[in-house]
Structure 1
Amino acid sequence: MRELIRSWQAGLRHPWSWLGLASAILLLMTLGWGGAWATRVYLNESEARGQNTLGLAVAVLRGHLARFERLPQLLADHEDIKRLVTAPDDGAFVDQINHYLREVNGLLETSDIYVMLPDGNTVAASNFDTETSFVGGNFSYRPYFIDALAGGLGRFFGLGTTSLKRGYYFGAPIHTEAGISGVVVIKIDLDEMESSWRGGDYEVIVTDPEGIIFMTSETDWLFMSVPPLTEDLLARTAKTIRYANAELRDLPTSQQRYQDDHQLLIVEDGAPRKEFLMVSEEMDEAGWTVTVLLDTASARSQAAVTVVLAVLLIGLVALSAAIYLQRRAQLQERLHIERRAHEQLEHRVIERTRELAQVNAQLEAEIGERKATEATLRQTQSDLIQAGKLAALGQMSAALSHEFNQPLAAARNYADNAIVLVERGRIEDARDTMSRIAGLIDRMASISRHLRNFARKPNEKLASVDLELVTRETLEIIGWRIKDGSAELVIDLGPTPLWVKAGPVRLQQVLVNIIANAVDAVSQATDKRIDLVARRSASKVTITIRDRGAGIPAGLGERIFDPFFSTKGVGKGLGLGLSISYNIVKDFGGDLRVENHPDGGAIFIIELKAATPAASEAESMAEPAE
């Protein structure tokens, strides 16, 4: 006996013995506790999936009912319906209402719509011309009629006693001067929603307050009771004739809980016996209980597979441990080889460190060179900034020269006219001409103040500007240019005065630049017409200036508004007019673009914010720079 104990104790000291004992304990724990744990995990997953399905089913049911809930009251408020219940003996009018209800029933896609008198008799119905017509039927026993006749909204679900079709009923009272004179009822079909539940890996049932299945994805369960049928239950159901002549049967079931977490329903209707995980939600507004049943066979199969995998994993771990112990001796033999390899690795690391030190020295040299290059770059950038300032100064000088050419030419023209008028003794006309010259000089001063907008946005407030007045003053400046170019300017400002949000002098500056370009564009054309059209659309005023010249060359449309870019020949323009005009329009909060017209020539499109004449006077005074 002592020898056996000593041998057993000696065996326990061997690693193989401890490995076998540990593997056996793990296997027993896996088969016992692990199976229950895995089943619970997979049932939790099934319940979460069932809750999602349940929430979707309840949401669809509620949405479908809510869609029709208010419709009976709308029909009850219809004057013809009120007239019907006060004069139900008018055959022609009853026939008219029958056709009306049939039309409404088709539009709403409901099952039936009918009108009942206070005694419960149906006087008109959408199915008046069918074999199952409700006309003449008395449904005073239905709760939807009783509740509606009492002044509330009637609700009821059940099997139709005439049509033998399931449906949900909404009833609404018909109020007349005599009080409640009838009830309008809408019946909706539930078969479409029920059919959408079929084909899934779950069952959906809807039960009434008595526990009778009213809707289900399993057609064999229809009108079966989950709790056992009793005389009281049958009596309550028969009172409202909820299920007409349908046969009510018991659904053989039993319920139990799994580890106090999951409600299980065992159905023994036929073979084989089925176990379902049950999740439910009450629909108080309809008096229903919606339940989703998920077959637990899948969860239990997955749990069994998990346990088998765990057992195989334990076996694999045990086998791996055995292999480890077996090869441990071999590893001892490899230590010497690894030691030598380690020494060789250290030698290579020393060599690589030396190489890295050399590379580091080269990098430091390169860093010094880059610092010198960076200093040179900073100096170059400083030189470029100075050059940019000089370029900007040159651009501003060129812009001043370009913008002054138009009013100077007009002033020269007025001065020549003034001399002629003085020589002829027309002093008043000469004085008027000199006033125009003074006005041009004022505009030149205003232009010089506003040219800084080419570089930054101005601070002065915009005003409501009369477009007709600006156009007329623009012609005073550009008129001589149009005449010298033998061009014809056709102006169409529409039937009503147009007011825009802008600055009058700057807007005039834009129109002068674009019309001058149009005159140059038609100089070599046969048709020298230039169209200026303005129209208001909503909150914008669109001004279009079209010439009949050669148009914008392909590929240059995006560059046309760049400073110093010009399609004219050398010495015929600085290329600043459109760039300045573009910036001015942007300052106004508008947009300026150019396109080629389909019939030839270019068309410039100016979009500005529309303004009202009422604000023009005050806002004009608030813009001192114009």
Structure 2
Amino acid sequence: MRILGTVRGQWRAFGVVWLIVAFAAVFAAGQVAKREAEGDALRQARAATALHAAVLRSELERHRSLPMVLAQDPDIQALLRDANPSAVDRLNRKLEGLARETRAAVIYALDTDGLALAASNWREPISFVGSDYRFRPYFHEAMRDGQASFFALGTVSNRPGLYLAKRVTDANGRALGVIVAKVEFDALEADWRASGEPTYVTDGDGVVLITTVSKWRFHTTGELGADRRRRLAVDQTAGRADLSTLPFDALTPGMISLSRDVPSDTYARVSAPIPELGWSLHLLQPAGTTITRAVLSARVLALLSVALLAGLTGVLLRRRQRAHARAVEEEAARAELERQIDLRTIELRTANDRLSHEIDERKRLEKNRQDLHDELIQANKLATLGQIAAGVAHEINQPVAAIRTHADTAGVYLQRSDADAAARQLSRIGELTERVGAITDELRAFSRKTRSGPVAVSVEAAIDGALMLAGARLRERGVTLERTPGQPDLMVKAERNRLEQVVLNLLQNAIEAVEGVPSPRILISVETKGRKVVVSVADNGPGLSETVRDRLFTPFTTDKPDGLGLGLVISRDIVAGFGGELVHDDAGPGATFRIILPGAK
């Protein structure tokens, strides 16, 4: 019962919380959607306003140049100087054609008293010819300042339009009168009206001049002062319009509602300046329906999202209640699992100890194998030294005997007090001693047990060392040695003594291979192939037998009666340790072995 009461309390709290969350989410989603929809409407309105303003500026620029050009016309100047009937008739017809071509509402010329002498509408009942316009502000401003612009209702046509006036002067700068062009915006208003976006243009006082809603013309965006109202009445700018304010109710910034004249709705209002005339263009973007739909969609989506989250939370709550009911069983299972884990951990620890022991044993065996390999290489060195020992001893005995002879000779010269002759003998002794030292140094370096990583080694130096040790045997066997011109700066990645051991092994094998061959010859060459350096040792002996060639680098494979068959195997392992290869080439007569090593920069 206690658990049942707790469950019921949880569900009651769950329902209350999610009702509050649903109300808050629906309200917040509606507000956010409303702000976003208003922002979208304002952005669309700005784009449309910029387009409308560009069209209006283009229309104004097209007509503003007309009075300036006409002020220079000789016919107009002549008429204003002498208004004879023939000149009036000629100018009336000329202005009529110009108005038709430029799509101006009317073009007319005023004398210095404001009387219209000629006009493009001279044929019409509402002809301006003979009318007095001295009361119009644009006449006085043009006479005073040279040019003027003024928007008003026509006193004769009662049609609104923009009057663009320019003073006409003679060659001496004397004022002759004023030329005026009236521009009406009916076509522009019709184009704007077709877009479905209420648009209007106001002057600096907020009076509506151009509009897609005809009822708004000469209304104001705010209250006008008494002076401004009186001036508008005197100028007859707005006719009998009451100059009341526009039917706008401000909402949020940039958003308004209309109370009459157009379908009631919420609009985004955006303005753009027309600095040429001090005007402002205003555009109303319908946004009420869009905002309502956006708010409704956002609220429905928020409600669905809350319902979904509430459902998921309810499922989680139900699972939590079930999980709580299974807690005791899981605790027992957890204890059993921990026990099993402890047992398994002990087994894994035992296996790990056994594996560590095996790894240590493998490392020890690997070290023993490497030590055995190094001992085998050293034994091969010593065996090679044993083979060349007799020749090296002969090389040393000759200088030693010569040293004894020169020493005795030097003693005789000293008894005779012939110091110069004795010095020559001692100098010769020094040269022979250096030769013996070079041979013994090479023997000592070659026999040293070394092991290091590959470094930059001179190929020519390694070959020179091997030839110093094998030179005596070559001369003893009468073998002709041919060697290609060397490159002293050619370096490879190797270890000096071991590379020298490989070259010496190949020389020893070549010397034995040419034994009994007429004109025995050995060729040593060095060449580069890309990033590789190839050292070749070739002889003109009988070559390798087919049996030996098939198993050449297999241990204990040899065709020598007293050979072990390990020299080439050891040499190949040494070269492989440098990252290179030792290969046999049986393309030509005799045997050719190539040492291929990576070059060192």
TM-score (norm 1): 0.47
Q: Pick the structure with greater CA Rg.
A: 2
